[in-house]
Amino acid sequence: MKEHLPHGSQIATFDILGWREIRPFTYLKPSDFDDGTLIQYLDDLSKPEVFAKHELLLKRADMMFIDGPKDGMMERELLENFNRITFDARQLVMVFDDIRFWNMLGIWRKISFPKLDLTSFGHWSGTGLVEWRPARRVPLS
């Protein structure tokens, strides 16, 4: 994906562990970060104070890929944080991983924005696409 980014674009990843710590289970290499188009933040976006620190970056996103621990709690908190901000006027596309895991079914079903289950084209454990609309909020309770 990085090699096809429009000029001036970036990929930001938010992780709990640094990419070097998960070797040999990564395809990343130091040179992937050299030109500044790929940046890793070691932060937990489910925490409101951490989310607020990155709000300006997140508001500018065109697409987000959500792949958390699948405990049902972190994802709920993350989506509640997304509900607290207003994205740019354009619509944001969110791709959710593992939507068919037991702990993720409730989260997935409560998202009221237009969405599509792409599991037959994506990942065996579920792939979902959501059109996150800035003017609406997702009821998560």
Query: pLDDT per residue over 58-67, tens digit each?
Result: 998 989 999 9
Structure tokens of 65? 């890929």
Q: How far apart are the first and last CA of the chain?
A: 35
Q: Would you kindly state where each structural domain of the chain is located, as residue ranges?
A: 10-42, 43-141
pLDDT in tens, 70-124: 888 899 999 999 988 887 757 789 999 999 999 899 999 999 899 999 999 988 9
